[in-house]
Amino acid sequence: VSAVLLDGRFLSQQVETYIRTRVTDLHARTKVTPGLAVILVGENPASKAYVAKKSRVAKSLGFQTFDHTVSATTTQEALLELIQQLNADSKVHGILLQLPLPPGLEQEVLLDAIDPRKDVDGLHPLSQGLLARGSGVLRPCTPVGSMLLIDLAYALQSNKNLTEDFQFPKNLPSVDLSGKTALVVGRSVLVGKPMVHLLLERNATVTLAHSRTKNLPELCGNTDILVAAIGRPEFIQGKWLSPKAIVIDVGINRLNDGRLVGDVEFSVAKDVCAAITPVPGGVGQMTVAMLMMNTVLACEKLLNSKEVL
């Protein structure tokens, strides 16, 4: 392996250590514990596993958790009522509606019903609008976690022994990407589009590719940073990449033999590019950590707004 492995498991543990101290401080000051409500609709096995993981990590960080498992035959009205209850519940600071929803439910209407102050997934139109404007606090978890992995790549370039005695956020400065090129493949509201805004915020020159893009191999070969969020196993071939590339593989694809792979051909890419995230153990770990960070941020902000009132 010639590429530096960007270890999401390691970095998420450091972020979680930091969150624990913030939760302890918050509780000492206010006697309030961050509360995360997670709504799971139906029996999708991947969604069940994600929700169980989020709940487990939230508990391990000292949060209060409120798990709502709802039958796939539920109605839009019943879900809206549940969201309204959680909006009104002062013990709940973050609300997560696990996606995808079963057919028949209107995802956007339900996401729009979440109080934007509790929108820890960053998918409410207000959160997305603020992000596009270059402000806002609650930003989508996967792109924010991906940015931290890019910061890790640059930090490791200047200090190979960084992970010994590493402390978050002290040892992970936000890198200025002036003069760097970034290619995002995939234009979803969940990953691709918010990723573009975060990269622009850091002054990268950004290209957004999607299924209608014609010259993908060429674009991949010319970029300093590549973020792949496509949902097609090993679609980005290792030989397309350049030795300078930092590769953030957001894809999670399960093969027929049960293995999980990303959107990038890791077995080849790891000997070609400069740095790469593994799948699993990369972006997925960071997504969960950033959900926890957003819950703390939402809690702190809600408490502050009450103090002002």
Question: What does the binding site for ligand NAP look like in residue numbers (CB under 6 A)?
Answer: 142, 185-188, 190-192, 209-213, 216, 229-232, 250-253, 283-284, 287
Give the residue with the Cβ less far from ligand NAP, 60 or 213.
213
Closest CA to 56 of 252, 262, 291, 296: 291
Give least dist CB 142 to ligand NAP, A: 4
CB atoms within 10 A of CB 23: 20
Give least dist CB 220 to ligand NAP, A: 10
Give least dist CB 92 to ligand NAP, A: 23
Question: How far is the C-alpha of 239 from the C-alpha of 270, rounded, in Å?
Answer: 10
| Residues found in the chain | 309
Closest CA to 229 of 271, 154, 279: 279
Tell me the Cα Rg of the chain.
19
CA angle (237, 261, 270) in 5-degree steps: 50
Question: How far is the C-alpha of 186 from the C-alpha of 12, rounded, in Å?
Answer: 24
Give the residue with the Cβ less far from ligand NAP, 122 or 284.
284
Give least dist CB 187 to ligand NAP, A: 4
Give least dist CB 189 to ligand NAP, A: 8
Report residue 24 CA to chain centroid gap: 24
CB atoms within 10 A of CB 235: 16
Task: Tell me if 148 sits within 8 A of 11, measured CB to CB.
Answer: yes
Give the residue with the Cβ less far from ligand NAP, 97 or 250.
250
Question: How far is the C-alpha of 266 from the C-alpha of 264, rounded, in Å?
Answer: 6
Give the residue with the Cβ less far from ligand NAP, 151 or 300.
151
Closest CA to 261 of 298, 225, 231, 289: 231
Where do we find the tokens 């391990």? Answer: 60
Q: Annotated active-site positions, please? A: 54, 98, 121
Give least dist CB 54 to ligand NAP, A: 11
Closest CA to 288 of 96, 72, 100: 96
Give the residue with the Cβ less far from ligand NAP, 34 or 251.
251
Give the residue with the Cβ less far from ligand NAP, 121 or 300.
121
List of E strands, 58-204: 64-70, 94-97, 181-185
